[in-house]
C-alpha cells in the first residue's frame, strides 16, 4: 500500500486539508494527516518547532495530528517514522490562495513538498486560487472576503486526486505544483502544464515609510507571460508546474582553487 502523508501550512483545522484527505480516501488510500497546529503560512522550508521540555507536541484531532511545527519540520518528522512508516508520497495543501511564479520560494506549502523530495519521495503542492482578476489594484490591495465554506475546495481536491496515479508512476523525488481556480469543476477550462511567472499574482511594495517604521502593501505585478501559471489561472485553467528539488547548479562556472603563494 502506498503511504501518503498530507500536510499544509494553513493549519490542521483548515478546510482545504480536510477536503484533500477526503478525496484521497475516496480513491482507496489511507493517508496520514499531520499539519501545523496553528497557521504557518510563508514559512518556506523552515525547520522550526515549539517544544515543551525538548518534546514536539502532537495533538490528536479527529482527522489527524496537529503538530507544533512548520510544514517542512513535519515532513522531516514523517521520514523519521514519527507517524508510522515513512511516506512514499507527500501531498501539501490545499492552500488558501495560489502559489504561483517565483514566489513559490516562500511558500510553506511548496517548502513541504521540496523537503519530501530531499528524502526521495514524490510530492505535490496543491493551492486554490482565491483572488479574482479585479480584486487587486495597482497602488493598493482590495481583497474580497469570501468565507472558507464558500470556496470550491472540492474542485482542487479532485484535481489533486486525479494526479495520484501519475505521481505514483513518476520518478522518485518528483515535485509538482498544482494551482486550481476557485470555481466548480464543470467550469474549469482544463489542466495545463505551466511555467513559473516571473512574479506571482501580487508583489509587495512600500506604501509608507518613516524613521522607525515601514508599512507594506500588495500591488498587481506586471502582465504575466503567456503560458505562465498566473496567465493560465486567469484564463480558467488549473496549472501544473514541475519543480526541481534542491540540488547543485551545474551550469554556473565555479573558479578553481588557486595555489597559495
Domain-embedded: residue 108: yes
Domain-embedded: residue 138: no
Distance CA 186, CA 176 (A): 23
Give the structural domain span for 43.
4-132+147-197+225-243
- Residue 202 pLDDT: 65
Domain-embedded: residue 60: yes
Distance CA 109, CA 112 (A): 6
- Count structural domains, the chain: 1
Domain-embedded: residue 209: no
Q: What is the CATH number of the domain that holds 191?
A: 3.40.1210.10
- Residue 176 pLDDT: 98
- Residue 147 pLDDT: 74
CA dist 118 to 111, 114, 125, 182, 242, Å? 11, 7, 15, 31, 15
CB atoms within 10 A of CB 112: 34
- Residue 88 pLDDT: 98
- Residue 139 pLDDT: 44
- Residue 254 pLDDT: 82
Domain-embedded: residue 203: no
Those residues whose C-beta lies under 8 Å from the C-beta of residue 94, and which sit 6 or more positions away, are: 8, 16, 17, 19, 20, 126, 127, 128, 153, 156, 157, 160, 180
Distance CA 53, CA 55 (A): 5
3-class secondary structure, 89: strand
Q: What is the largest CA-CA distance in the chain?
A: 71
Domain-embedded: residue 79: yes
Domain-embedded: residue 250: no
- Residue 191 pLDDT: 98
- Residue 143 pLDDT: 47
User: Tens-of-pLDDT digits for all 261 residues of the chain?
Assistant: 899 999 999 999 999 999 999 999 999 999 999 999 999 999 999 999 998 899 999 999 888 999 999 999 999 999 999 999 999 999 999 999 999 999 999 999 999 999 999 999 999 999 999 875 544 444 444 445 567 888 999 999 999 999 999 999 999 999 999 999 999 999 999 999 999 998 766 666 788 888 888 887 666 666 778 999 999 999 999 999 999 988 888 888 888 777 666
Domain-embedded: residue 55: yes
3-class secondary structure, 20: helix
Amino acid at each position: 500500500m502506498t503511504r501518503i502523508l498530507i500536510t499544509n501550512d494553513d493549519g490542521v483545522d483548515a478546510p482545504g486539508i480536510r477536503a484533500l484527505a477526503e478525496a484521497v480516501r475516496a480513491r482507496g488510500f489511507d493517508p496520514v494527516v499531520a499539519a501545523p497546529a496553528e497557521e504557518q503560512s510563508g514559512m518556506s522550508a523552515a525547520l522550526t518547532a515549539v517544544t515543551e521540555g525538548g518534546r514536539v507536541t502532537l495533538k490528536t484531532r479527529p482527522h489527524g495530528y496537529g503538530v507544533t511545527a512548520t510544514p517542512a519540520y513535519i515532513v522531516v518528522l514523517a521520514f523519521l517514522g514519527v507517524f508510522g512508516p515513512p511516506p512514499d508520497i507527500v501531498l501539501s495543501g490545499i492552500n488558501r490562495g495560489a502559489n504561483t511564479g517565483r514566489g513559490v520560494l516562500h511558500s510553506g506549502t511548496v517548502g513541504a513538498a521540496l523537503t519530501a523530495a530531499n528524502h526521495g519521495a514524490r510530492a505535490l503542492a496543491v493551492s486554490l486560487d482565491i483572488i479574482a482578476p479585479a480584486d487587486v489594484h495597482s497602488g493598493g490591495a482590495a481583497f474580497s472576503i469570501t468565507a472558507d465554506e464558500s470556496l470550491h475546495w472540492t474542485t482542487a481536491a479532485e484535481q489533486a486526486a486525479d494526479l495520484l496515479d501519475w505521481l505514483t508512476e513518476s520518478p522518485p523525488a518528483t515535485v509538482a505544483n498544482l494551482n486550481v481556480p476557485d470555481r466548480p469543476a464543470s467550469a474549469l477550462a482544463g489542466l495545463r502544464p505551466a511555467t513559473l511567472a516571473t512574479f506571482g499574482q501580487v508583489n509587495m511594495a512600500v506604501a509608507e515609510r518613516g524613521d522607525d517604521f515601514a508599512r507594506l502593501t500588495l500591488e498587481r505585478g506586471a502582465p504575466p507571460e503567456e503560458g505562465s501559471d498566473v496567465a493560465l489561472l486567469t484564463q480558467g485553467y488549473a496549472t501544473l508546474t514541475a519543480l526541481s528539488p534542491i540540488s547543485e547548479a551545474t551550469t554556473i562556472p565555479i573558479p578553481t582553487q588557486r595555489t597559495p603563494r
